[in-house]
Amino acid sequence: MLRLLGLDGEAPEVWKGDDHFAVSLSESPHELEALLRARLKAGYSARITAGFCWPWNNPNDDDSLVADVRIGAWARPWNVKGDRAVGDAPAGALWASAPGGFQQVGCVYTAQRFEYDWNGVIFGPDLLSGMLEAGT
């Protein structure tokens, strides 16, 4: 994992997997989102997920989602927690398949029951600090 992500001080290792699975690194969440938007425009389904290391607030009083997942100037809300849509965001159970779901970040733990073509994973401070502490 350290070599694949370039966390061992070396250049990231290129994924040499199979023809049905691709792994690549993005330099920023802006780049990741642009890559996935291109996949959407090409007719594929795509979503962004992240480890649960940012707060997950309830919607604002004006029925808008809080942009809890923040990395520099990039910020997006988590997917909706409940069974009702919030603004243009679909209910939690429809996050991965309904229009409007791409505008939110899904938690890697709750996204496991969904299927879509492309997934961008944001590695946050929870994973990185745990890996560096463990030396793996």
- As a whole number of angstroms, the distance between CA 62 and CA 6 comes to 42
Q: What are the φ/ψ torsions at residue 10 (nearest 5 degrees)?
A: -100, 170
One-letter-per-residue 3-state SS of 88-122: CECCHHHCCCCCCHHHCEEECCCHHHCCCCEEEEE
What are the tens digits of pLDDT across the range 1-13?
677 777 778 888 8
Average pLDDT, the chain: 87
Q: How is the chain split into domains, by residue range?
A: 29-134
* Reported confidence tier of residue 30, pLDDT bands at 50, 70, 90: very high
Mean pLDDT of 87-112: 91
* Reported confidence tier of residue 128, pLDDT bands at 50, 70, 90: low
Q: Tell me which residue has tokens 């994924």.
A: 15
% of the chain beyond a pLDDT of 70: 92
